[in-house]
Structure 1
Amino acid sequence: MEVVARLLALLVLLLVGAGLRTTGVLDRRRVAGLNTIAYYVALPALVFVSTYDQNVADLLSVALVGGLLFVLGTTAALAWVVHRNRGSNDRSSVAIVQSYHSNLGYLGLPLVAATFDARVTAIASVVLGVVTLTQLPMTIVVLSTLNGADAALVGEIRGIVKNPVLLALIVGLAVGSAGVSIPSTVASGFDAVAALALPIALLCVGASLQVEASTIDFGAVVSVIALKICCMPILAWLVFSALGVDPATFTAAVVMLGTPTAVSTYVFAAELGGDRKFASLNVFATTLASIVTLFVLITLVS
């Protein structure tokens, strides 16, 4: 029942965010402000408090990195096979990237932190780092190549290096591995800020969701949903079971890879010639459907 309550609360916050956008309370400027708070403050705080008392050697393993890269690469390859002839390139490219590009920061990590213990959350932070460093360049290359758009890949990679969430991960792991003690008052402050990550992120996601009836391509949308929140976590389950990783690593990897399509894919689609309306629809559809699939995943791994 606790898992159901958490996911229902997640759905309520998504709907509240969408409702506040519809009524004009969360206009573009305010959504941008919330995104700034989430991206530069709350999420880095969550990553830091999850890792500052952990040794990187206990979290990062060859099996974890190899398994993540295999699942990501295999899902992307399947998406290419399924979507490569999806009508126009602008729609095909969006369908491909949205079939593997996971919402790890705004949904995955905060949900894991609210549901599982500290070790699972710490490993989920590492999953966020490894997958983000892989899926972002992949998405930029796929969209720019298929749509013939000019993508300043070097500039985008520099942006990844400056990502505050990834920087918080590096600092947290460095502090934990060095055995540096954090004063309890400082730790409590970070904990308080980290607690804001999930509600703020969900409001931002909800306020960013837009659906237009004219964009609905049921076959394409169902294919994206099937690949992203069904095939990808099932593949993760099989791969990490075969690798024999510990339960915390297994839980973190499967749940994180079972998250819906990231809202950022809509931004990349808009910048790199993708079908923006189709991208927005897929974000909405995978997020809504993931309420059910994440409940199943969390119940099974628990």
Structure 2
Amino acid sequence: MLFLTIWPLFALICAGFLLARKGFPAEGFWPAAERMNYFFMFPALLFSSLARAPIRDPEVLRLGVAAVALLLIAAALLAFARWLRPAPAARFGPALQGVLRFNTYLGVAAITSLAGSEGLSRAAVYLAIAVPLVNLLSILALSEGGASGRWRRLVRTIFTNPLILACLAGIAVALAGTGLPFGSAALFSLLAQGSLPLGLLCVGAALQPQALRQDMAALAGIDALRLFAMPVLATVVAFAMGLEPVSALILVVFSAIPTAPTAYVLTRQLGGDGPFMAGIITSQTLAAVLTLPLVVWLFRLVGGN
């Protein structure tokens, strides 16, 4: 039953990969579709979900604290590993992103399939907290010296990120308690319905299988940390924080999905190892077809849900 819930998400990713390789509908379509979704449709989904989210619910606060704790613990462990075995920022940055970042389209789609509208609202809260933090950690990991320029870049990246801006706007509406007036909820609902399918198709279109030909051992190690070690750590944090089942599921799923395709863009912008980052994204996305259902099944077995 769990596999039947998740496999359509990966079917869309595979469809996007095949369509892009066939050049359909046109060579320039997929970059334009990704930009449309990233700057317009997906922010509309996050904004409308957060506008309706129970922001003042103590469980939401616990989920936020758990998200911060999980990411900071994982980042500290990676920094310790780098201290034991030094690596340049060009390599450490992609490795950290491969372990900490997450594919928002796949994560939201998976949570919506597994936990419905309640899961979507809480997932939006998780993203409002985790997206700025992982961006901050990623930029720090990719930067070697140049503190002044680094902090300018950090501020610019975070406060021009459409997902972060949509989350902030949604939280403001939720705190104000005004809701979405003048029938705008229906508009945002229409945009949201198209966002996730288009996003998953674009994920598939961006895969680069040729990047798997190098650094196989490093890719396997980072994939194991992301797809197995992170969900285990998330489960420990969820139980330690006493999260409710839906919140715990969100923490685990967002720790078990592959890293974000946008990590490649950031890596290239900051002078990191682009082919290495592309290999991480591609290998994790392919492996998650098998690992994500397994992780969710094991989590439900351990949690008794």
- Indicate whether the TM-score tops 0.5: yes
Q: CA deviation at 1:60?
A: 6.5
Residue 141 of structure 1 is matched in structure 2 by: 140
**Pairing 1:71–2:59 present:** no
SS of residue in 2 equivalent to 1:180: coil
C-alpha change, 1:98 and 1:149, in structure 2 (3 Å) is: farther
Work out the CA distance in 1 between the residues paired with 2:285 and 2:211: 17
Distance 2:58 2:275 in 1: 39
How far off its partner does 1:90 sit? 3.0
CA distance 1:149–1:166, change in 2 (3 Å): closer
For 1:222 and 1:83, how far apart are their aligned partners in 2? 17
Mapping of 1:170-209 within 5 angstroms? 170-182=168-180, 185-209=183-207
Q: TM-score, normalised by structure 2?
A: 0.87
CA distance in 1, matches of 2:211, 2:276: 10
- Gapped runs of 5+ residues in structure 2? none
- Which residue of structure 1 lines up, in the alignment, with residue 121 of structure 2? 122
Do 1:7 and 1:295's aligned partners in 2 also have CA atoms closer than 8 Å? yes
Counterpart mapping for 1:73-92 below 5 A: 73-82=72-81, 85=85, 90-92=90-92
Contact 1:26 1:207 in 2 (8 A): no
Verify the 8 A CA contact 1:150 1:272 in the aligned structure 2: no
Kindly state the Cα deviation for residue 26 of structure 1 after the two structures are TM-superposed: 6.0
Which stretch shifts more, 201-210 or 248-257? 248-257
Match of 1:93 in 2: 93
Asked whether the 8 Å contact 1:110–1:197 carries over to 2, the reply is no
Task: Pick which of 28-37 and 178-187 moved more.
Answer: 178-187
The answer to whether 1:163 aligns with 2:150 is no
Aligned length: 299
Matched residue type, 1:52: A
- Distance in 2 (CA, whole Å) between partners of 1:263 and 1:186 is 30
Residue type of the partner of 1:168?
A
Deviation (angstroms), 1:202: 1.1
Give me the TM-score of the superposition, normalised by structure 1.
Answer: 0.87
In 2, Cα distance between the equivalents of 1:172 and 1:283? 29
Change (3 A) 1:68 1:80: same
Other-structure match for 1:38: 37
Worse-matched range after superposition: 173-182 or 252-261: 173-182
Aligned partners of 1:55 and 1:173 also within 8 Å: no
Q: Could you tell me which residue of structure 2 aligns to residue 216 of structure 1? A: 214
Change (3 A) 1:176 1:97: closer
> What's the secondary structure of 2:209's corresponding residue?
coil
Q: Deviations over 1:71-102 (max 9, x none)?
A: 11222233344566487653343223312222
SS at 1:145 equivalent: coil
Unpaired runs of 5+ residues, structure 1, are none
- Alignment identity in percent? 29
Code of the aligned partner of 1:137:
L
What is the CA RMSD across the aligned residues, in angstroms? 2.7
Retained in 2: the 8 A contact 1:67–1:240?
A: yes
Q: Is the 8 A contact 2:219 2:280 kept in 1?
A: yes
Q: Kindly state the Cα deviation for residue 119 of structure 1 after the two structures are TM-superposed.
A: 2.2
